[in-house]
Amino acid sequence: MSEPRTLIDKLWAAHEITRREDGAALLWVDRHYVHEGSFHAFSQMKARGRSIAEPGLTFGVADHYVPTRARAAGIADPEIAAMVRNFEANATDHHITLFGLRDPRQGIVHVVGPEQGLTLPGLLIVCGDSHTSTHGAFGAYAFGIGASEVAHVLMTQTLWQKKPKRMRITVDGKTAPGVAAKDIALAVIARVHADGAQGHAIEFAGGAIRALSMEGRLTLCNMSIEAGGRCGMVAPDATTFAYLKGRPYAPKGADFDRAVEAWSVLASDADAAFDREVSLDGGAIAPIVTWGTTPDDALPVDGRAPDPARETNEARQKYVREALDYMGIAPGTKLTDIAIDRVFIGSCTNARIEDLRAAAAVLAGRVSKVPGLVSPGSSLVKKQAEEEGLDRIFRDAGLEWADSGCSMCVGINGDIVPAGQRCASTTNRNFRGRQGPGSRTHLMSPAMVAAAAVSGHLADVRPLLAGRKP
Amino acid sequence: MEKFVRLAAKACPLPQPNLNTDQILPARFLKWPRSRGLGQVLFHDLRRDGDGKERPDFPLNQPVYRNAKILLAGRNFGGGSSREAAVYAIHDHGFRCVIAPSFGDIFAQNAVKNGLLTAIVSETDVAELAAAVAADPERSLTVDLDKQTITCGNRSYGFAIDPVSRNQLINGWDDVDLTESYRARIQAFRTEDRLLRPWATPART
């Protein structure tokens, strides 16, 4: 009998080309996604006079800098226009498949990869973006890398890595109506803290995880990095296979059936050991919002902002005081008393079709009290939402229906929250200045953002769902 | 690649926790080529107010810390975004070592590739080092990667770093050159893998 293995053990073993004495292993990379921000890596490669080792395994997606408004008119900012042009030229010169600004499949890389069936179970996937953890939702080993590593993958299709420790996060029970994958993610982060999973590969398990759709699992794995974990994963199952069947780049016909057979063994063995185990009761999770400047500053929406005077640790006291000061929130404020200035629905975390449906279910027949932007996760998600009439619901509520890109999550395409303003947002980071210098971000699920929009302040979505199909 | 063996230099304390890469280098500077001088916008929004004026209470704005090569940081330094330009900004400002109780995984990996040492010490030790430096900002700390020690006056502190990163920094190994030496093995893996996992190749190429 061989030693029982976890999912990450199996994924690691399938990709290990060689291992050095110091423990570093050379891993084979199955998919490499690049975006406009990957220009440092292309420069490094050019400086060495090299080209891409495996153009057929490298895919370019324009998402970080692309405009989400008036796209037909071109890009107004000359610096950004040059970046997108440079990226598209790099893709053409190196013969890689490009989902460029004018491609009907364009969108956020972490939405497009799964949507196109490029992301599959059992693959090792990298991208110069920390939210590459998203793709782990399929039972892939997927993680973000920096420019030097991007350059290395471009030139060799391999990467030197040290094997991460194994951490299992089990969420059992059944989540209540109005509680979304985002709430599970924020509950997990609040529990393990923003650096709790550093050095670990997270595997999400348990009944509440199994019950999640692919969209929900993508949201959850996306947020692994906000707990410090470079990758998060869910073992593939019937939900995974049903999602993948018929996707453009997924195996077809008999090849698909054979692939499913191979993917079906990608689960942790029953008695496999993890370096760390955490469990949560899914039934006890309430809708959550963040109050501070790291994603672990997360509390159930019926709670109150902390009071530094009640913190016992001096460093913690200082942190809480500074975070509340930046956020413009008085100590002990009821979270539902916090008025907002705008909302944003978008990002690789929460802009898939199911997310838009969840927000629309709350907004239908209601009006937003604040302005807001809705940026679908991909151009195909946008099209589908329009076919379902969701765009009308957003527009009728007074929100702006825009094109797809990273948009107001990272604020580098010009979509920013003005200084001092407060935004209820479906994104992944409430860091200082993340959505623009001086911006104040509260993270929550799409339905909770919709609830905040129609209320004008942070609000519990559950009463607003009464009599509606969530 | 730039080596790191031993460094004796002044240090700058910056003890707040969770200084993520958005704080180290705000996103709007990411479109800058490195040659434009990322060091000058390091910690931009913490260092300057809304009008671009330096905040006098930010340590790096105090003349005594301007030439520091060692950063004494708080827990979870460099978490968040994978932007390697955050490391470029720290490096190009003149820092060669960051000492903290913990680092973001991607940041730590990016740091190694640029010859920047990330030394892990306990919260207590970093607080002691920061206090010693605050009391005498002109003092030099000595960081020895071979011995994995930080010396401050007559006190010595051990630090942790994973052996892979330590090896790479001490030897100044270039990853791409190193990988080249495994070219045959990579090719053999690729050939065998295509048979073992035919589904791993994109269906439409």
Residues of A in Cβ contact (< 8 Å) with B203: 117, 248-252, 255
Residues 105-134, chain B, touching A (beta carbon < 8 A)? 105-106, 109-110, 113-114
- Do A315 and A411 lie in one domain? The reply is yes
Report the residue from B102, B167, B199 with minimal CB separation from A262. B199
- pLDDT at position B22 over 70: yes
- Do A264 and A402 lie in one domain? The reply is no
Residues of A in Cβ contact (< 8 Å) with B173: none
**By C-alpha distance, which of A167, A170, A133, A138 is closest to A236?**
A138
Please answer whether residues A135 and A234 qualify as being in contact, where contact means their C-beta atoms are separated by less than 8 angstroms. no
pLDDT digits (tens, 9 = 90+) for A80-112: 999 999 999 999 999 999 999 999 999 999 999
Decide if B45 and A437 are in contact by the 8 Å CB cutoff.
Answer: yes
Decide if B84 and A129 are in contact by the 8 Å CB cutoff.
Answer: no
Residue A205 lies in a domain: no
Q: B90-125: b or e for each residue (b if 16 or more CB lie within 10 Å)?
A: bbbbebbbbbbbbbbbbbbbbbbbbbbbbbbbeeeb
Residue A331 lies in a domain: yes
Homologous superfamily assigned to B6-173: Aconitase, domain 4 (3.20.19.10)
The residue length of chain B stands at 205
Decide if B103 and A118 are in contact by the 8 Å CB cutoff.
Answer: no
Please answer whether residues A285 and A179 qualify as being in contact, where contact means their C-beta atoms are separated by less than 8 angstroms. yes
Q: How many domains does chain A have?
A: 2
Q: How far apart are CA A226 and CA A188, in angstroms?
A: 10
Q: Which residues contact A166 (CB under 8 A, 6 or more apart)?
A: A6, A8, A9, A200, A201, A203, A273, A274, A275, A276
Mean pLDDT for chain A? 97
Report the residue from B17, B82, B202 with minimal CB separation from A249. B202
Residue A277 lies in a domain: no
- Do A123 and A151 lie in one domain? The reply is yes
Residue A188 lies in a domain: no
- Do A258 and A396 lie in one domain? The reply is no
The verdict on A438 touching B (C-beta cutoff 8 Å) is yes
Residues of B in Cβ contact (< 8 Å) with A24: 164, 167
- Do A26 and A67 lie in one domain? The reply is yes
The verdict on B201 touching A (C-beta cutoff 8 Å) is yes
Decide if A28 and B193 are in contact by the 8 Å CB cutoff.
Answer: yes
ipTM of this predicted complex? 0.97
> End-to-end alpha-carbon separation of chain B, Å?
35
- For the CA atoms of chain A, what is the radius of gyration? 22
Residues of B in Cβ contact (< 8 Å) with A256: 199
Q: What pLDDT was estimated at residue B154?
A: 95
- Do A244 and A317 lie in one domain? The reply is no
Please answer whether residues B77 and B19 qualify as being in contact, where contact means their C-beta atoms are separated by less than 8 angstroms. yes
Domain that includes residue A155, residue range: 7-165+223-269
Residue A204 lies in a domain: no
Residue A181 lies in a domain: no
- Do A320 and A243 lie in one domain? The reply is no
- Do A237 and A350 lie in one domain? The reply is no
- Do A399 and A259 lie in one domain? The reply is no
Mean pLDDT for the stretch of residues B141-147: 98
The verdict on A148 touching B (C-beta cutoff 8 Å) is yes
Write down which residue in A201, A235, A269 finishes a domain.
Answer: A269
The verdict on B87 touching A (C-beta cutoff 8 Å) is yes
Residue A461 lies in a domain: yes
Q: What pLDDT was estimated at residue A467?
A: 86
pLDDT digits (tens, 9 = 90+) for B119-137: 999 999 999 999 999 999 9
Domains in chain B: boundaries = 6-173
A320: left (phi over 0), alpha (psi -120 to 50) or beta: alpha
User: What DSSP assignment string belongs to chain B?
Assistant: ----SEEEEEEEEE--S---HHHHS-GGGTTS-GGGTGGGGTTHHHHB-TTSPBPTTSGGGSGGGTT--EEEE-TTBT-S---THHHHHHHHHT--EEEES-B-HHHHHHHHHTT-EEEE--HHHHHHHHHHHHH-TT-EEEEETTTTEEEETTEEEE-B--HHHHHHHHHT--HHHHHHTTHHHHHHHHHHHHHH-GGGS-S--
User: How many Cβ pairs closer than 8 A exist between chain A and B?
Assistant: 184
**Structure tokens given for B61:** 């704005």
Mean pLDDT for the stretch of residues A194-206: 97
Decide if A228 and B76 are in contact by the 8 Å CB cutoff.
Answer: yes
**CATH number of the domain that A65 lies in?**
3.30.499.10
Decide if B182 and A432 are in contact by the 8 Å CB cutoff.
Answer: no
- Do A22 and A145 lie in one domain? The reply is yes
- pLDDT at position A178 over 90: yes
Q: What pLDDT was estimated at residue A1?
A: 57
Residues of B in Cβ contact (< 8 Å) with A38: none
Residues of B in Cβ contact (< 8 Å) with A195: 18, 75-76, 79, 102, 104
Q: What pLDDT was estimated at residue B1?
A: 83
- Do A366 and A250 lie in one domain? The reply is no
Q: In which element (H, E) is residue A18 found?
A: strand A16-19
- Do A295 and A258 lie in one domain? The reply is no
